[in-house]
Amino acid sequence: MIKNLGLIPRLVIAIILGTVIGMFFPEWTGDLLYTLSSIFGQLLFYVVPLIILAFIIPGIAELGEKPGKMLGLTAGVAYLSTIIAGTIAFFAAMFIIPSITPELVEVEESTGLSTFIEIEIEPLMGIMTALVTAFIFGIGINYLKNVKEEKTLYRFMLEFREVTRMVIQKVIIPLLPLYIAGIFANMAAEGTVFTTLGLFAPLFGLVIGVQLLYLLMQYTVANRLSPKNPIFGSIRKMVPAYTTALGTVSSAATLPVTLKSAKTLSVPEKITDLVVPLGATIHLAGSTIALTISAVTVYLLHIGTPDFLSFLPFIMMLGVVMIGAPGVPGGAVMAALGLLGSMLGFGETEIALMIALYMGQDPFGTACNVTGDGANSIIVSAFAKEPGSQPTEPDSGVQEPIIDEQMTPKVEG
């Protein structure tokens, strides 16, 4: 029945039910739904700092398992890719979204629903405090684990991450439709719901279009650095990873296919064995495009007209926070919730809209992430001055044996 449906169909049903309840049902029905939604919202904001601690600390601690120079180069390429993707997404959104809906910023809110009770669940710490704490402990545990071989804190953080992941999978994700339904019921009561719903289709089209354009840009740069990897030929080889990610909605679950596809590129196998698994954790350019475009849209709808200088710090921090994105559908937006509230001033309504907008195109963001890892492999290989290997395909000729020991790093997320 409904519980057997995927998350996206359940969110669609929640939006429809919330809108219908807010428009046609007795007011007390909408108030009850909005009360439950508000309580869940308090729980959600409480969990956000825990997500940052639980995923960023072990994420940084695990980075020490890779060779230092190659790790730094891979992380630098992944981070730069994420920042460029977010910047392009910002200007694309600012150029297209207002022209699609010119009345966007003129929406006025009226009296909506009210809650029966007010429950406040204070987070253990603020978002920036959680980020700073995560980096201090992540770097410290990395040092203890790899230099002094002390792994007590590391093992604790791994278990802490599993507990937090379980909360996300068993509580947060299943109850998201209830949260979304309450927010849309409130917007329906305010009279703003159809303006918002009218944005979904053009927004999804813009997000997917920018993601595909960015992949083309990535492989163009890769081709300029390594001409033996043709642009469209390389993209074609990564199509199996793209289509698999559309179904799994998880970079980690797609990893075997991504590795197999990347190894058909003219890149040394030891490079793909490092860059692709690490990229599944830290390279989320497609997700950043979706989050940035959605954030600009919601900002225009509820706050005003953003400027690039106010969004650039958000984009730069987004690239860092993506390191700790949980490896579950919607994990990227879960990791970004704290930044949306602390840096962009988003409240419950804006956060709910971000979740709904992001979840609707999450499969395409994941597909863009993993496909881009192939381009990053080519780029890292070029900068590392590694001679490329021939792809394992019929009629490809005799390959030189690979004598370097393969490195298969651990990956989470």
Which residues fall within 8 angstroms of residue 122, CB to CB, at 6 or more apart?
A: 46
Return the axis-axis angle of helices 7-24 and 27-63, rounded to nearest 10°. Answer: 150
Identify the domain containing residue 232 by its residue range.
Answer: 2-383
Q: What is the mean pLDDT of residues 243-253?
A: 81
Q: Looking at the domain assignment, is residue 411 inside a domain?
A: no
Q: Looking at the domain assignment, is residue 389 inside a domain?
A: no
Looking at 230-386, list the stretches that DSSP marks H as alpha helix, in order from N- to C-terminal side: 231-237, 239-248, 251-262, 269-282, 285-302, 308-321, 331-344, 348-383
> How does the average pLDDT of the chain come out, rounded?
82
**Tokens, residue 346:** 């988003």
Q: Looking at the domain assignment, is residue 144 inside a domain?
A: yes
Q: Looking at the domain assignment, is residue 410 inside a domain?
A: no
* Closest to 144 (Cα-Cα) out of 41, 207, 57, 86: 57
Q: How far apart are CA 141 and CA 14, in angstroms?
A: 42
Structure confidence at residue 272 (pLDDT): 87
Total domains, the chain = 1
Q: How far apart are CA 55 and CA 123, in angstroms?
A: 17
- Residue with the bigger pLDDT between 376 and 67: it is 376
Q: What is the pLDDT of residues 258-277, one digit of tens each?
A: 989 999 999 988 888 888 88
Q: What is the pLDDT of residues 364-385, one digit of tens each?
A: 998 999 999 999 999 999 987 7
Q: Looking at the domain assignment, is residue 91 inside a domain?
A: yes
- Residue with the bigger pLDDT between 268 and 407: it is 268
Task: For Cα atoms 225, 228, 234, give the angle at the middle one, nearest 5 degrees.
Answer: 90
pLDDT band at 411 (very low <50, low <70, confident <90, very high): very low
Compute the residue count for the chain: 413
Q: Looking at the domain assignment, is residue 408 inside a domain?
A: no
Q: What is the mean pLDDT of residues 190-206?
A: 80
Q: Looking at the domain assignment, is residue 41 inside a domain?
A: yes
Q: What is the pLDDT of residues 107-143, one digit of tens each?
A: 444 456 888 888 888 888 887 788 889 888 988 888 8
Find the CATH number of the domain harbouring 369: 1.10.3860
Q: How far apart are CA 91 and CA 222, in angstroms?
A: 23
* Closest to 97 (Cα-Cα) out of 201, 248, 185, 19: 201
Q: Is the pLDDT of residue 240 over 90?
A: yes
Greatest mean pLDDT among 98-102, 114-118, 314-318: 314-318
Structure confidence at residue 393 (pLDDT): 45
| Residue linked to tokens 């949260």 | 179
Structure confidence at residue 397 (pLDDT): 40
pLDDT band at 160 (very low <50, low <70, confident <90, very high): very high
Answer for the pair 63, 269: CB distance below 8 angstroms, yes or no: no
Share of the chain above pLDDT 70, in %: 86
Q: How far apart are CA 113 and CA 30, in angstroms?
A: 7
Answer for the pair 184, 355: CB distance below 8 angstroms, yes or no: no
Q: What is the mean pLDDT of residues 167-183?
A: 87
Task: For Cα atoms 278, 284, 287, give the angle at the middle one, nearest 5 degrees.
Answer: 155
Answer for the pair 196, 187: CB distance below 8 angstroms, yes or no: yes
Answer for the pair 391, 264: CB distance below 8 angstroms, yes or no: yes
Q: How far apart are CA 108 and CA 302, in angstroms?
A: 9
Least confident of 23-32, 60-69, 297-306: 60-69
Rg, C-alpha atoms of the chain: 22
Q: Looking at the domain assignment, is residue 402 inside a domain?
A: no
Centre a 10 Å sphere on the Cβ of residue 308 and count the other Cβ atoms it contains. Answer: 11
Answer for the pair 53, 130: CB distance below 8 angstroms, yes or no: yes
pLDDT band at 63 (very low <50, low <70, confident <90, very high): low
Q: How far apart are CA 301 and CA 55, in angstroms?
A: 31
- Residue with the bigger pLDDT between 408 and 29: it is 29
Q: How far apart are CA 45 and CA 123, in angstroms?
A: 7
What pTM was computed for the model?
Answer: 0.79
pLDDT band at 69 (very low <50, low <70, confident <90, very high): confident
Structure confidence at residue 5 (pLDDT): 64
- Residue with the bigger pLDDT between 281 and 352: it is 352
Q: What is the mean pLDDT of residues 202-230?
A: 94
